[in-house]
Amino acid sequence: MAHIPDGILTLPVLLAGAAIGAGGLAIGLKRLAPERIPQVAVLSGLLFVAALVHFPVGPSSAHLILNGLIGISLGWAAFPAIFVALVLQAVLFGFGGLLVLGVNLTNLAVPAALCGLAFNAVIKARPAWGVAAAGAAGAFGVAASMLMVALSLAASGREFLVAAQLVLVTHLPVMAIEAAFTAAAAGLLLKVRPGFLGRGAVAVVVLAATLTAAGPALAHKLTLFASTEGNSVSGHAYFSGGDRAQGVVVTVTDPAGAVLHRLTTDAQGAFSFTASSRADHRISVEGDDGHAAQFTIAATELPDTLAPGAPAPDLQAMIDASLARQLRPLREQLAATHDKIWWHDVVGGLGAIIGFFGLAYGLSARKDKKS
Amino acid sequence: MSLFRLEGIHFAYPSGAPVLNGAHFALAAGERVALSGANGSGKTTLFHLMVGLLRPQAGTIEAFGAPRASERDFKEVRAKAGLLFQDSDDQLFCPTVIEDVAFGPMNLGASRAEARAVAVRTLAELGLTDFEDRITHKLSGGQKRLVALATVLAMQPQVLLLDEPTNGLDHDTRARLTAILQGLPQAMMIVSHDGDFIARLATRTVALEGGRLASPL
Amino acid sequence: MSLPHAHSRTARPMLGGEAHGHASLHDDCEGHGPIGHLDPRTRLVAAGLFALMVVSRDQIWPLVLAVGLALAAALLARLRVLPTLRRMLAMDGFMVAAVALLPFTVPGDPAFSAFGLTGSGEGLHQAALILLKANAVVLMLLALVGSMNTIALGHALARLGLPCKLVQLFLFTVRYLDLLHREYARLRTAMKARAFTMGTNRHTWQSVGYLFGMLMVRSLERSDRILAAMRLRGFDGHFPCLEEPSRFGRPDGLFALASAASVVLMMSQG
């Protein structure tokens, strides 16, 4: 289940979760017309009841998570609906905790809202695909939530990586269950109460289009790193995901904006130059498609044998500088792996998961039709 | 041989006074027993006990020639004793009529195709031929009652437990239901306050009073 | 430990009961024990501060003290022992795994070995910290907030500045919970009467999907009827935000003092 208790996550993760959760809640409430409150409350209550249903999975059992169904029914209003259910579960059953409410909300509601966006877009374009899309939303809701739970854990410490992987693996059967479950529930809703699912499709298409446009932009984010050794500065540029950026123009300027050097990265995306003054060096790279990245080498990182630019450094500054020099490679490596985990794993993993379940569901649906 | 034999059944809900207090009862094949009693006297509770949805605090239940106590025992009983609920909305939950009627046979292990065939046949027998793809939720009250009966009959039970089957039905639907039930071979227990309906159908009457069952002489 | 005066909150609701025997999800449970006399807002704020306090501590002893404080609060709130224990143990399976794996994933001095793996003392320490924190927060939450009538909780949230719409949503949800749960139980009973059992197969998942779909349709129709009834009574699309008179009094002041003292005590243990 998606209820992380208090005491595991670190403060930054809690804060990030709270911020995203609060933002989503604000949007959800703003778009929620007062007349729809009884409707949303019904679904919120349903979410609460669903958590009491255990499905047997071999010798073990699994909970329904239901955020896919909530998402396709409510869109943005999934945030307040899930929030209320989480508060009630925490207070009445002791599920989850208090300070983690934001993270738990984010982990469940962000995938739900995305399901809503995607589902509405699909149902507008191809109404006949409604049931299959709902099944995919059911699987995606679980997959994305568990991925986010795993990321929340992993971001709180390396020691949780194994547990994070465990979360993902153990929820594979839940995805299958939730896909079949959500497809059935949505099928019934589409038949019995047509028009309830897939409202507000127009605004949603615009949003979805924006999101898809933003996707590649993020996927090709340029990143830049440089370090000093004596008075020579070297670094490299790479894309998120780890690919080196070859033949990209690198510009080095001083604090006043005057261009000191203009270089191009080599086949490994690397570049180097020799600093001639002890001043801040601003390094910037610009890719063909308008992506840019910047990095600053502080004056203190350069040896004081270089004459002009700055006042004589005190001892503290020297220690800082030496520390910075030693820590740099570490920081660089950390940032590289961080970016790598994010985009490769999130996008690739989700894609594979959705594809796999979509295929499985489609095949089984066809088999049913034949028989 | 009796289909059901209940001995010394005691039952009370956690929150209240005892509902059944040493009830004895037997149902034989071919019988249609009317169960009378005031509102809240425990008639529905008795039905739920007979199919194991509730368990007695004391007493024994024998059904279809074997004592029944565990959930596993009652699973067999539920396949052979069909319970028609007072409120058909409690019984119907699938989008279409055909899926709802096929639900029971599938629980008994039929394949999708077999269950579908049984469902089509059952609906035809009840004169609901064109109802397969109708949406259950949008049927009228009378239609819902007939479809609910079909969902029970599709499991080919040996006993029917009918809880207020004519409740809320109009004159025509009531006549139709009466005719259908008269033509069925199953043993029945019927809870109803509809005197005319009972008179047409029942072979004997049993009264539930003070937690015990008594046959009026 | 015995907690006297069992109050009316039920354990996990039994599924499959019917109207008479149905265990309510959220009975009124206000007014039991000294905690019951406090203003709901005091309890909410205290629970929040306590959680913040607990989560930010990283030594064993202050956390043991925190669990002690939470236990004391549970006693004062007259929580029933068994249901409370069950709730505390109901940590998610994978969280148990996350904690159990810690000794093997945190690097440090080997302290013990199991299954051919060596567990580190540091890992054990961290696992203990997490267990103490999670249980202290949950216990305090159940004691201070869980023992509160859910309607009172809604009003307290409104007075603490939660958006009006969100509070209305909360109150409506509370109102629907029992109805939904009862309807769910009735449908499940009817399915059981038709020989349905949960299994690991598509028939099960689809059937439960239909069950929830139907539950949704019926509840949505009920919500339509409720909205119509509200219109009949002059609802024009705006909820008046409910105002409840403050009940902040001497007990609340005392409790606030006691809470502050406990927090200082916990800080000083670090």
Domain ranges of chain C: 34-157+244-269
The rounded distance, in Å, linking the Cα atoms of B79 and B82 is 7
Residue A307: CATH number of its domain:
2.60.40.10
Asked if A191 and B113 come within 8 Å (Cβ–Cβ), the reply is no
* Boundary (domain end) residue, out of A218, A234, A253: A218
Residue B135 near chain A (CB below 8 Å) = yes
| Cβ-defined contact of B137 to C21 (cutoff 8 Å) | no
Q: What pairs with residue A225 in β-bridges?
A: A236
Query: Which among A190, A191, A369, A371 is the top mutation candidate for probing chain B, defined by the most B β-carbons within 10 Å of its own β-carbon?
Result: A191
> A228: closest CA among A320, A332, A303, A153?
A303
> Is A84 in Cβ contact with C169 (below 8 Å)?
yes
Ranges of chain B whose pLDDT falls below 50: none
Chain B contact present for A187, CB below 8 A = yes
Instruction: Note whether residue A309 is domain-resident.
Output: yes
Are residues A189 and A230 part of one domain?
no
Measuring CA to CA, how many Å separate B123 from each of B33, B55, C82?
Answer: 25, 33, 50
Residue contact A371–B137, C-beta within 8 A: no
Per-residue pLDDT tens digits for A26-73: 999 998 888 888 889 988 998 888 887 878 876 677 778 889 999 999
Asked if B117 has any chain A CB less than 8 Å from its own CB, the reply is no
User: Are both A101 and A40 inside the same structural domain?
Assistant: yes
Report if residue A370 sits inside a domain: no
Cα nearest neighbour of B104 on chain C: C194
Asked whether residue A106 is domain-assigned, the answer is yes
Handedness of CA A352, A355, A361, A367 (dihedral sign): negative
Instruction: Give pLDDT, residue A271.
Output: 84
User: What is the pLDDT at residue A202?
Assistant: 36
Residue A160 is encoded by which pair of tokens?
A: 């949780």
* A15 and A107 housed in the same domain: yes
Does residue B57 contact residue B107 with C-beta atoms inside 8 Å? no
Chosen from C205, C207, C233, C242 to mutate, greatest number of chain A CBs within 10 A: C205
* B contacts of C191 (beta carbons < 8 Å): 93, 103
Tell me, yes or no, whether A278 and A230 share the same domain: yes
Q: What is the CATH number of the domain that holds A62?
A: 1.10.1760.20
Task: Say how far apart CA C241 and CA A171 lie, in whole Å.
Answer: 41
Assess B95–C contact: CB distance below 8 Å, yes or no: yes
Q: E strand or H helix at B144, and its extent?
A: helix B141-153
The answer for residues whose C-beta is within 8 angstroms of residue A369's C-beta and 6 or more apart is none
Fold of the CATH domain B2-214: Rossmann fold (3.40.50)
User: What is the domain count for chain A?
Assistant: 2
A298 shares a domain with A188: no
Do A103 and A251 belong together in one domain? no
SS3 (DSSP) at C218: helix
**Window from B36-40, B69-73, C62-66, C263-267 with minimum mean pLDDT:** C263-267
Tell me which chain B residues have a C-beta less than 8 angstroms from the C-beta of C192: 53, 78
Distance (Å, rounded) from C-alpha C198 to C-alpha C205? 8
Q: Chain A closest CA to B72's CA: distance in Å?
A: 17
Number of Cβ atoms within 10 Å of the Cβ of A101: 21
Q: Could you tell me which residue, C19 or A129, shows the higher pLDDT?
A: A129
B16 sits in the region (left: phi over 0; alpha: psi -120 to 50; else beta) called: beta
Q: Are strands A60-63 and A259-264 parallel, antiparallel or unpaired?
A: unpaired
Are A170 and A255 found together in one domain? no
Which chain A residue's Cα is nearest to B139? Answer: A192
Q: Are residues A60 and A191 in the same domain?
A: yes
Task: Residue A192: list chain B partners with CB under 8 A.
Answer: 95, 135, 137-138
Residue C27 banded pLDDT, cuts 50, 70, 90 = very low
Q: What is the pLDDT of residue B50?
A: 94
Below-70 pLDDT ranges, chain A: 1-2, 58-59, 198-221, 239-244, 287-291, 307-371
Residue of C56, C134, C165 with shortest CB distance to A34: C165
Q: What's the token pair of residue C169?
A: 């949503």
Q: Which residues of chain A have a CB within 8 Å of the CB of C142?
A: 91, 94
Residue of A nearest to B99 (CA): A188
* Domain span including residue A248: 220-340
Q: What is the Cα Rg of chain C in Å?
A: 23
Residues of B in contact with C20 (CB under 8 A): 13, 15-16
**Are C20 and B107 inside 8 Å of each other by CB?**
no
B112: distance to nearest CA of chain A, Å?
Answer: 7
- Chain B hits for A188, CB-CB cut-off 8 Å, are 94-95
- Do A306 and A281 have their domain in common? yes
Q: Which residues pair with A283 in a beta bridge?
A: A252, A295
Q: Is the Cβ pair C145, A91 closer than 8 Å? A: yes
Residues of A in contact with B113 (CB under 8 A): 371
CA C40 to chain B, closest CA, distance in angstroms equals 30
**Which of A191, A218, A245 corresponds to the end of one domain?**
A218
Q: In this complex, how many residue pairs, one in chain A and one in chain B, have their CB atoms less than 8 Å apart?
A: 14
Distance from CA of A317 to the nearest CA of C (A): 31
CA of C23 vs chain A CAs: smallest distance (Å): 14
**A-proximal residues of C, 30-49, CB under 8 Å:** 47-48
Are A212 and A242 members of one domain? Answer: no
Which chains does B contact via 3+ CB–CB distances below 8 A? A, C
Mutate to test the interface with A, among B89, B98, B137 (most CBs of A within 10 A): B137
Q: Degrees (nearest 5) of the Cα angle C97, C100, C105?
A: 105
Is a pLDDT exceeding 50 seen at residue C30? no
Average pLDDT, integer, range C120-147: 87
Q: Between chains, do C213 and A92 touch, taking CB under 8 Å as contact?
A: no
What is the torsion angle, in degrees rounded to the nearest 10, for the CA atoms of residue C74, residue C79, residue C85 and residue C91?
A: -70
| Chains linked to C by 3 or more Cβ pairs within 8 Å | A, B
Residues in chain B closer than 8 A to C190 (CB atoms): 85, 90-91, 93
Find out whether C242 and C34 touch, Cβ atoms under 8 Å. Answer: no
Residue of C189, C203, C210 with shortest CB distance to B53: C189
